[in-house]
Homo-oligomer: A and B are copies of this chain.
């Protein structure tokens, strides 16, 4: 097992879906990534920032999952980052209602000394300069994984490209991959992104699963077809957390092992969307995860006679 550093937001979310709405609940990319990775009992540290309004009980819950929170800065007179959004009926699109950066506006990430030698770094969605700041504090990690989104392509493309050049794996959704490269075909988009730096490109297609590209190799992990998606918030982060958590646990960063890591990420994401926010991940049992992985196996494995 290798150490894992997770940087990203720890936040309050207020969510409205066709199934209901929440007040401010626990959210944030680093939160979902951490909870997903903790399923593998990794030695992971969260690097983030919250305000004095952030409940100690949330911090205790993250600690209880085995996550190191010494890199979670608390700004006593500041307010925690807040996001509010409303999903449309098809759950595939949403409107952002409120974004209050608050303490995130001046965030200078500090990686705890004992995690500077971590082998795996998961850069959750954040300003590229913050992501870059974390990379610079690390002592030669073996695998740096980047998640980002269209917002940074539109507002801080130059900084984002600097980060992309320095990472081993990028996770990005299909529309963002097309936007970043100008290529409609995801095969061609992945080739362009390889040229920008990352040896491994993961393209997330939501309900249609995810593709992993490495040179001329490809792997396709489906999403589990679900009767109901209750709340998609955090599904992408959960996917990334499952992916990096599994890789940290196994310490094997090969393409073959990344296939299994992606299936684990997809399985965890399929739980995440079953309830609001982090609720389902917080209360996930080993047996449930085992059964879900078996479902993914049944869903995708087939016999073929190649004669």
Contacts and interface: CB of A to CB of B under 8 A. Distances in A.
Contacts of A209: 208, 220, 222
B304 A260 contact: yes
Interface string A277-307: 0000000000000100110111111111010
A4 interface: no
Contact of A185 (B217, B226, B293, B299): B226
Nearest to A300: B300
Contact of A227 (B188, B217, B228): B188
A208 to B, nearest CB: 4
Contacts of A217: 298
A213 B249 CA distance: 34
Interface string A85-101: 00001100000000000
Interface in A182-205: 184-188, 205
A300 B296 CA distance: 11
User: How many copies of the polypeptide does the oligomer hold?
Assistant: 2
B298 A301 contact: no
Given A205-B208, A208-B205, A222-B209, A185 B227 contact: yes
B306 A263 contact: no
Interface residues of A, number: 40
A47 interface: no
A39 to B, nearest CB: 14
Interface in A92-116: none
Nearest to A223: B220
A61 interface: no
A262 to B, nearest CB: 8
A222 B220 contact: yes
Interface string A226-249: 111100000000000000000000
A209 B185 CA distance: 15
A59 interface: no
Contacts of A306: 290, 293-294, 297
30 contacts: A89-B184, A90-B184, A185-B225, A185-B226, A185-B227, A185-B228, A185-B229, A186-B225, A187-B226, A187-B227, A209-B220, A209-B222, A217-B298, A218-B298, A219-B299, A219-B302, A220-B222, A220-B225, A260-B303, A260-B304, A263-B302, A263-B304, A264-B304, A290-B306, A294-B306, A297-B304, A300-B300, A300-B301, A300-B302, A301-B301
Interface of A: 89-90, 184-188, 205, 208-209, 211, 217-222, 225-229, 256, 259-260, 263-264, 290, 293-294, 296-304, 306
